[in-house]
């Protein structure tokens, strides 16, 4: 996905003079050619993440479309007040593109992990959040985001699904349960393959989201209405329960149960290893998801 | 514009400020910026109510957003704001708060109040105008002028922007640092030295001397972005 990002932004810099890229060193080598071709529009501020977001806000005030990129903890968490004030409060847009996600940089330890990025942006109004599950989705979502003017966070992952889904702001249904089904499962971005595997033997509806903000509340309400039970399981690659308030809003008019699965909130996991090791520790591997789904749907 | 015929002179600013009440805590901040703001809007910046939306206008960004009474007064004197609006200051449905909001106030380029945001925003604006090759009608590059306080320079975000602006050669950017000695630990060697070491052209002026300020702000500065340190003693 990182390569798709570099290619998409490189092409946008060539095609649209409004496009600017703001970096704080990270991934700078992927844009060397773009920087040579468009020296005023590829701006590497050095290791200065507050200035990175502030500069992006200023570029937007001057009529540019800034794309801002770093590891998620340095893009969203470190300069969070700049994200809040220099973009949101100024009422200007930018495309923030994060890598590293929850623990793609598993061997780097907690300093380079950001499972709270989407929950943090959820405290701010007006953000669109894309969580592509495949590099082709990343390309399509980025291309569309650069063409708009709003505030967009694109959360790239080092892992993805086997096949690409169409980029849609709506929930995409991949498997429809029977009229007596146990409920609905929503898989976000790179969680899709393992959710499909983990729920293969269950009578449930499985839907996919690569855009989580705005959340497709109407779509979820319809799917739950058609299911046998108003039970909803959401599987997200970041903090568990991040979208719980969206599910609650979507289903406010009916009695329902919900469970959110994702990265654990209860402790700081001080481990290295691989992302798969971390998935296992958080119950986000296929086996962990299958067990949690069976328990939740009471089968 | 009937409001421009009356209360449009420097001598009218105290009257305009007097229409706003209730922010005594920040009155020092308001008054130390008065002459800088007047010189900028009266003699330096190419921007008016008629060109406030023109992409090629000069930009003024008030980073030091607290104590904006002098700012609102100057905007009113120059016709960006209706004078009666000043009386609504800080009311629920007023566009004028104790910190300015660009979405609410005509002619205001940034919403500010939290310190350390204006200079990075100004740098981005300057780089954006340059990347788009925006030119004023007279062929000059639009200027981006940002006003910061010496206490505000404590914020690390400013130091990030000062360093980046110097290296990136953003010479369409001007910082006016109003030095009223409010920084907790001070700036050994003076504020200008902080900018100079990063490649900025620096000048100092008495913040109450309008001719000196005008000269410092308008004399050509062929090398790097420009920092003007305006020294002001609180209470003068």
Question: pLDDT of A183-194, one tens digit each?
Answer: 999 999 999 999
Average pLDDT over residues A197-208: 98
B108 close to B100: Cβ distance less than 8 angstroms: yes
Q: A101 — contact with chain B (CB < 8 Å)?
A: no
Average pLDDT, chain B: 93
* Residue B31 confidence (pLDDT): 81
Distance between CA atoms of B181 and B167, rounded to whole angstroms? 28
Is pLDDT above 80 for B160?
Answer: yes
Q: A63 — contact with chain B (CB < 8 Å)?
A: yes
Asked if B168's CB is within 8 angstroms of A62's CB, the reply is no
All residues of chain A having their beta carbon less than 8 Å from the beta carbon of residue B145 are none
Q: A149 — contact with chain B (CB < 8 Å)?
A: no
Q: B81 — contact with chain A (CB < 8 Å)?
A: no
Among A48, A57, A91, select the one facing B124 at the smallest CB separation: A57
All residues of chain A having their beta carbon less than 8 Å from the beta carbon of residue B114 are 81, 85
Distance between CA atoms of B68 and B88, rounded to whole angstroms? 14
Interface of B with A in 6-45 (CB under 8 A): none
Read off the DSSP letter of residue A15: H
Helices first, then strands: H and E counts in chain A = 12, 12
Read off the DSSP letter of residue A167: P
Distance between CA atoms of B58 and B48, rounded to whole angstroms? 9
All residues of chain B having their beta carbon less than 8 Å from the beta carbon of residue A17 are 132
Is pLDDT above 70 for B2?
Answer: no
ipTM above 0.90, yes or no: yes
pLDDT tens-digit readout, A29-61 = 999 999 999 999 999 999 999 999 999 999 999
Q: B175 — contact with chain A (CB < 8 Å)?
A: no
Is pLDDT above 60 for B101?
Answer: yes
A89 close to B111: Cβ distance less than 8 angstroms: yes
Q: B163 — contact with chain A (CB < 8 Å)?
A: yes
Query: CA angle, B224 as apex, B219 and B225 as ends, to 5°?
Result: 70
In this prediction, residue B6 has a pLDDT band, given cuts at 50, 70 and 90, of confident
In this prediction, residue B27 has a pLDDT band, given cuts at 50, 70 and 90, of low
DSSP string of B133-163, one letter each residue: T---TTSPPPPEEEEEETTGGGSHHHHHHHH
> What pairing do the DSSP bridges indicate for beta strands A151-155 and A127-130?
parallel
3-state secondary structure (DSSP) of residue B172? coil
In this prediction, residue A97 has a pLDDT band, given cuts at 50, 70 and 90, of very high
Distance between CA atoms of B72 and B78, rounded to whole angstroms? 10
Host H or E run for residue A155: strand A151-155
Asked if B128's CB is within 8 angstroms of A63's CB, the reply is yes
> What pairing do the DSSP bridges indicate for beta strands A172-175 and A205-209?
antiparallel
Distance between CA atoms of A245 and A254, rounded to whole angstroms? 15
Domains of chain B: 3-231 (3.40.50.970)
Query: Which residue of B127, B135, B142 is the best one to mutate when testing the A interface, meaning the one whose CB has the most A CBs within 10 A?
Result: B127
All residues of chain B having their beta carbon less than 8 Å from the beta carbon of residue A94 are none
The rounded Cα B169 to chain-centroid distance in angstroms is 21
Place of tokens 């005008």: B214
pLDDT tens-digit readout, A117-138 = 999 999 999 999 999 999 999 9
B191 close to B179: Cβ distance less than 8 angstroms: yes
Here the tokens at position A47 are 């290791």
Determine what percent of chain A is predicted with pLDDT higher than 90: 99
Distance between CA atoms of B23 and B31, rounded to whole angstroms? 12
Among B110, B134, B156, select the one facing A50 at the smallest CB separation: B156
pTM of the model: 0.96
Distance between CA atoms of A200 and A192, rounded to whole angstroms? 12
Here the tokens at position B136 are 């004023």
Here the tokens at position A227 are 């299911």
Distance from CA of A158 to the nearest CA of B (A): 30
Q: How many CB atoms lie within 10 A of CB B152?
A: 25
Place of tokens 């004030």: A85
- Dihedral of alpha carbons B50, B52, B56, B57, sign: positive
Determine what percent of chain B is predicted with pLDDT higher than 70: 94
Read off the DSSP letter of residue B15: H
All residues of chain B having their beta carbon less than 8 Å from the beta carbon of residue A20 are 127-128, 131
Q: Which residue of B has its CA nearest to A56?
A: B124
């Amino acid at each position: 996905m990182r390569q798709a990002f570099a290619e998409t932004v490189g092409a946008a810099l060539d095609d649209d003079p409004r496009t600017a890229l703001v970096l704080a060193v990270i991934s700078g080598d992927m844009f060397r050619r773009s920087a040579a071709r468009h020296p005023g529009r590829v701006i590497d501020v050095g290791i200065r993440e507050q200035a990175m977001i502030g500069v992006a806000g200023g570029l937007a005030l001057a009529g540019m479309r800034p794309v801002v990129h770093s590891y998620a903890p340095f893009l969203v968490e470190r300069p969070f007040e700049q994200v809040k004030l220099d973009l949101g409060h100024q009422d200007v847009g930018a495309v923030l593109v994060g890598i590293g996600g929850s623990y793609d940089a598993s061997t780097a330890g907690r300093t380079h992990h950001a499972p709270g990025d989407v929950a943090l942006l959820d405290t701010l109004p007006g953000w669109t959040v894309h969580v592509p599950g495949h590099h082709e989705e990343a390309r399509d979502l980025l291309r569309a985001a650069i063409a708009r003017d709003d505030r967009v966070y694109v959360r790239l992952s080092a892992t993805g699904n086997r096949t690409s889904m169409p980029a849609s702001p709506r929930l995409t249904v991949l498997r429809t349960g029977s009229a007596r089904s146990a409920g609905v499962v929503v898989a976000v971005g790179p969680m899709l393959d393992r959710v499909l595997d983990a729920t293969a033997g269950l009578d449930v509806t499985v839907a996919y989201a690569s855009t989580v903000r705005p959340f497709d509340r109407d779509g979820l309400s319809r799917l739950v209405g058609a299911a046998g039970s108003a039970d909803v399981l959401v599987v997200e690659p970041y903090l568990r329960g991040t979208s719980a308030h969206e599910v609650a809003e979507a289903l406010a008019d009916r009695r329902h149960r919900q469970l959110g699965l994702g990265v654990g909130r209860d402790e700081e996991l001080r481990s290295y290893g691989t992302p798969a090791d971390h998935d296992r520790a958080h119950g986000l591997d296929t086996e962990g998801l299958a067990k949690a789904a069976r328990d939740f749907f009471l089968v | 514009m009937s409001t421009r015929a009356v209360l449009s002179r420097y001598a009218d600013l105290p009257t305009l400020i007097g229409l706003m009440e209730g922010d005594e805590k920040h009155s020092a901040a308001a008054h130390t910026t008065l002459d800088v703001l007047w010189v900028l809007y009266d003699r330096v910046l190419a921007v008016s109510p008629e060109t406030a939306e023109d992409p090629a206008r000069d930009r003024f960004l008030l980073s030091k957003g607290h104590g904006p009474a002098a700012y609102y007064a100057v905007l009113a004197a120059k016709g960006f704001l209706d004078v009666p609006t000043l009386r609504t200051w800080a009311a629920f449905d007023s566009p004028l708060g104790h910190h300015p909001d660009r979405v609410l106030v005509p002619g205001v380029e940034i919403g500010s109040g939290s310190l350390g945001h204006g200079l990075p925003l100004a740098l981005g604006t300057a780089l954006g105008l340059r990347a788009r090759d925006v030119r004023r009608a007279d062929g000059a590059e639009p200027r981006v002028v940002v006003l910061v306080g010496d206490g505000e320079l404590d914020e690390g975000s400013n130091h990030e922007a000062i360093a980046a602006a110097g290296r990136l050669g953003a010479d369409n950017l001007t910082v006016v640092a109003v030095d009223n000695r409010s920084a907790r630990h001070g700036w050994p060697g003076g504020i200008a030295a902080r900018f100079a070491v990063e490649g900025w052209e620096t000048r100092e002026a008495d913040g109450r001397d309008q001719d000196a300020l005008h000269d410092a702000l308008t004399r050509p500065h062929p090398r790097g972005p420009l920092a003007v340190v305006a020294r002001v003693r609180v209470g003068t």
